[in-house]
């Protein structure tokens, strides 16, 4: 069994060697690792978005590294490869979900050797992969962070196109200037649609690891109603699931991880993640804190009253600030809507 220093060195060196052979499109597509000098209490493992790249998780990764966690952001299979991709020479994205699933389980084992608990997170297709782990291999992880997971398309038309088409799809622009891919074979996306459909059904009857699911009202890539349904079903069997949907006034896009990809509230998102990773609360307890804040009580007084002081993160007040507390009050007192 290699010692910790040798292990971290080997992980980084092997990833670099693999990516040199590809080669990668640019440095943003290289796997990123943030390692402390010794194993950490929690290890954060992130899976970037479909056609995306590891740097999508670098700002959040750095924020969690500063919290004392080791961070791994590996390049997803078939992604980030340099080449002149087109209809005749399509981007080499997997069309078999097992490729991604084996990849996820491999990296979870790598992460487990670097600390006590593994926290996974993923954007879009990477979020779908995390949901699969949370439902099918929940004992391997402490919790999962799902950022706009691709559980279904945004509309019936989108779903039918992805389900039935075998075409090659691109969204214009200069591929040479793009960081990640700008085109893909539709069957490469279809596997996430199929997996998402399975997960929506599984969540109704299978207990999951704790999950925090993030949505945005202006998402034009996924169906946020399915996000809400997935959360509601998962919560019934796993009380430590959380959910937040950014109001459309925040203009948070599907690619919500960084300022560079359109989310000027990147810092708030990172605070909310730190609140979840650093707390040990059920959703009912979080809502109770939010409800009592509407009664004029202070956050420290509330957590003391509830006996939660040792189970809350210093970042939880930021999370509570983002909650729709009026909706919490209404759910407890429907008649208040008529007042």
Residue-wise pLDDT for 272-317, tens only, equals 999 999 999 999 999 999 999 999 999 999 999 999 999 999 999 9
The pLDDT value given to residue 1: 66
The pLDDT value given to residue 334: 65
Average of pLDDT values for 322-327? 88
The pLDDT value given to residue 157: 63
Alpha carbon 288 to its chain centroid, in Å, reads 25
Residue-wise pLDDT for 96-141, tens only, equals 999 999 999 999 999 999 999 999 999 999 999 999 999 999 999 9
Number of neighbouring beta carbons within 10 Å of residue 238 = 21
Burial 29-57 (b: 16+ CB within 10 A, else e): bbbbbbbbeeebebbbbbbbbbbbbbbbb
Contact 196, 227 (CB under 8 A): no
- Asked if the model's pLDDT at residue 333 lies above 50, the reply is yes
Mean pLDDT of the chain: 95
- Asked if the model's pLDDT at residue 20 lies above 70, the reply is yes
The pLDDT value given to residue 177: 80
The pLDDT value given to residue 76: 99
Residue-wise pLDDT for 146-190, tens only, equals 999 999 887 766 777 788 788 998 887 777 789 999 999 999 999
**Three-state DSSP class for residue 213:** strand
Q: Where in the chain is the domain with CATH 3.40.50.1820?
A: 4-278
- Asked if the model's pLDDT at residue 319 lies above 80, the reply is yes
Contact 125, 192 (CB under 8 A): yes
CA 227 – CA 225 distance, rounded (Å):
5
The pLDDT value given to residue 225: 96
User: CATH top-level class for 4-278?
Assistant: alpha beta
- Flag whether the pTM goes above 0.75: yes
Read off φ and ψ for residue 122, nearest 5 degrees.
-155, 150
Contact 324, 294 (CB under 8 A): no
DSSP string, 82-124: -S---SSS-------HHHHHHHHHHHHHHHHTTEEEEEEEEET
User: What is the helix (H) or strand (E) element at residue 42, kind and residue range?
Assistant: strand 40-47
Q: Place 47 in a pLDDT band, splitting at 50, 70 and 90.
A: very high
Read off φ and ψ for residue 3, nearest 5 degrees.
-75, 170
């Amino acid at each position: 069994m290699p010692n910790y220093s040798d292990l971290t060195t080997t992980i980084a060196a092997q990833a670099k060697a693999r990516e040199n052979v590809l080669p990668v499109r640019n440095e943003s597509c290289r796997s990123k690792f943030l390692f402390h000098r010794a194993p950490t209490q929690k290890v954060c493992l992130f899976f970037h978005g479909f056609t995306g790249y590891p740097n999508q998780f670098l700002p959040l990764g750095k924020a969690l590294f500063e919290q004392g966690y080791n961070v791994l952001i590996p390049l997803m299979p078939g992604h980030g490869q340099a080449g002149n991709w087109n209809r005749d020479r399509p981007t080499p994205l997997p069309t078999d979900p097992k490729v991604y699933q084996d990849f996820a389980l491999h990296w979870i084992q790598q992460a487990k050797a670097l600390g006590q608990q593994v926290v996974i997170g993923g954007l879009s297709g990477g979020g779908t992969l995390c949901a699969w782990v949370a439902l099918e291999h929940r004992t391997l992880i402490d919790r999962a962070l799902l950022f706009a997971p691709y559980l279904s398309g945004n509309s019936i038309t989108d779903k039918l196109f992805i389900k039935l088409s075998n075409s090659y799809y691109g969204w214009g622009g200069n591929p040479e200037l793009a960081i990640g891919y700008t085109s893909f074979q539709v069957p490469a996306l279809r596997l996430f649609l199929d997996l998402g459909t399975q997960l929506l059904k599984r969540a109704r009857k299978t207990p999951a690891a704790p999950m925090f699911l993030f949505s945005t009202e202006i998402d034009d890539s996924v169906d946020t109603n399915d996000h809400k349904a997935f959360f509601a079903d998962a919560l019934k069997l796993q009380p430590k699931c959380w959910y937040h949907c950014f109001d459309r006034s925040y203009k948070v896009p599907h690619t919500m991880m960084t300022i560079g990809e359109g989310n000027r509230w990147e810092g708030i998102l990172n605070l909310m993640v730190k609140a979840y990773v650093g707390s040990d609360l059920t959703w009912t307890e979080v809502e109770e804190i939010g409800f009592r804040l509407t009664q004029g009580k202070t956050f420290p007084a509330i957590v003391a009253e509830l006996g939660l002081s040792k189970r809350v993160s210093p970042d939880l007040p930021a999370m509570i600030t983002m909650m729709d507390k009026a909706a919490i009050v209404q759910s407890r007192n429907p008649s208040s809507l008529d007042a």
